[in-house]
Structure 1
Amino acid sequence: METVLKIQGVSKNFNHFDTVLHEINLSFFAQTFNVILGQSGCGKSTLINIMSGLMKPTRGNVYYKDLDISHAEKKEIIKLRRYKFSNIFQDYLLLSELTVRENIELGKTGRAHDLEYSELTERLGIETLAERFPNELSGGQQQRVSIARAMIKNPEILFCDEATGALDETNSKLVVDYLKELNKTYGTIIIFSTHNLKISTVADRIITMKDGLIEDDYQNPFPQSTFRNDIRRFS
């Protein structure tokens, strides 16, 4: 299986005494759905930010294929994030003055690799919302619009940081099911951080974190095709 992203010896300090990550070593493979589980404050958001090029590690290296993005020039990081990486956050970060269509099309690169707007919005169940504004949408609809904006450039890796954290259980299930479908349809690598244990039922691989360390890392022998309703959370 092709290794697309590799993290070697990554640590992160925010000051001399506050170490958030401790010597993290991970590899992520093509076309996989990966869940990073852990309580709030365990370091999973910091790890997502470092892997996606939004933050530099204090020590260690992050490789996208042969490129060491932890020490790459800014223009290389911008290019990588423009064409290969996308992020979805708990806060939808939609532009309030733009319609759904305009928000989504902001993510386009102008390359042939981009996905078709109509195909993507139909898959996400938001095809009828094109001319609405974000304040006219439910939380679940807004998150699906943010997914479409992140996906329309057809990224190789989609980083999801607590992407269902602001949603109720019904919308959480829908969003995870849509992400699972995008993973299967387009081969997008999904790296999804969450404290929701049940999201791991759809994952190919489950990584658990505690106190800035990898506590466990294993393959799911029977990943579910859809997210189940019985939701439990880390306390």
Structure 2
Amino acid sequence: MKAILKAENITKDFEKERVIKGISLDIYENTFTVILGPSGSGKSTLLNILSGLIRPTEGNVKYGDEMMTSWSERRLADWKRTEAGNIFQEYLLLENLTVEENIKIGISPKKGSLSFERLVRILEIDDILCKFPAQLSGGQKQRTAIARAVIKGPRLLFCDEVTGALDEENSKKVVGLLHDLKSTFGIAVLFTTHNQQIAKTADRILTMKNGMVYQDVFNDDPITADAMIWG
């Protein structure tokens, strides 16, 4: 496997607290990696550092052979527009735009985008394109947010607790669709969660505790999203 992203002994301090404590790891192309841990373990902070939303206090993040931590804000913004997609629990859709308009905001002007028609069919939202966010269910909002993040054709997709506000049925559907997108378009997916069942669907599970990765397991026998059991 080829590493697309590397963290080299990264730390992160907020005021006097060190929340990331010297993490080094590689993220590989075309893999679904879950960052698993309870609230406060540092998993969202780690994801935000890897995705360029925040900078580490110490250490480096590399994208290919380039040192992301030395990039200017403009270079980092260009990378986010073309190479990386982010999905959040809160959806962050623009209420005055339709589903179609919200999705097309994600198109990068600097590179070819994925087929809009194919993407909305895969995500099963081709019948709601004229609706506004207030008219959508939580699952429809999240699938719209996924489409917006993916339409640019990113190499990396960062997903922070994206099923946290969804019921079991929609959670399974979203996780399954993210796996489909990984397989169809060769995207490296990083997914933070505290849900053990979601972790079991992943190619790799990074388990965090107290700002450190204390277990890194490649999953030889992942389950399907439909096989997840909510306790």
Match of 2:8 in 1: 8
How far apart, CA to CA, are the structure 2 residues paired with 1:231 and 1:225? 13
Contact 2:182 2:188 in 1 (8 A): yes
1:44 aligns with 2:37: no
What pairs up with 1:1-235 in 2 under 5 angstroms? 1-16=1-16, 18-110=17-109, 113-232=112-231
Alpha-carbon distance, 1:112 to partner: 5.5
Q: Aligned-pair RMSD on alpha carbons?
A: 1.1
Letter in 2 for 1:36: I
Give per-residue Cα distances to partners, 1:117-140, cap 9 Å, x unaligned: 110000001000110000000000
Give per-residue Cα distances to partners, 1:100-130, cap 9 Å, x unaligned: 0000000001356311111000000100011
How far apart, CA to CA, are the structure 2 residues paired with 1:72 and 1:195? 32
Give per-residue Cα distances to partners, 1:176-220, cap 9 Å, x unaligned: 000000000000000000001101122110000001010100100
Decide which moves more: 55-64 or 69-78.
69-78
Q: Mind listing any 5+ residue stretches in structure 1 that lack a counterpart?
A: none
How far apart, CA to CA, are the structure 2 residues paired with 1:67 and 1:73? 12
How far apart, CA to CA, are the structure 2 residues paired with 1:219 and 1:178? 21
Matched residue of 2:70: which SS?
Answer: coil
Alpha-carbon distance, 1:223 to partner: 1.8
- TM-score of the two chains, using structure 2 as the length reference: 0.97
Contact 1:96 1:134 in 2 (8 A): yes
- TM-score of the two chains, using structure 1 as the length reference: 0.96
Alpha-carbon distance, 1:32 to partner: 0.5
Letter in 1 for 2:114: L
Alpha-carbon distance, 1:73 to partner: 0.9
Q: Mind listing any 5+ residue stretches in structure 2 that lack a counterpart?
A: none
Contact 1:158 1:188 in 2 (8 A): yes
Contact 2:82 2:110 in 1 (8 A): no
Count of matched residue positions in the alignment of Structure 1 and Structure 2: 231
Give per-residue Cα distances to partners, 1:6-46, cap 9 Å, x unaligned: 00100000012x11000001101110010000001110110
Percent identity, aligned pairs only, is 45
Write out the 4+ residue segments of structure 1 that deviate beyond 3 Å after TM superposition: none
Alpha-carbon distance, 1:227 to partner: 4.2
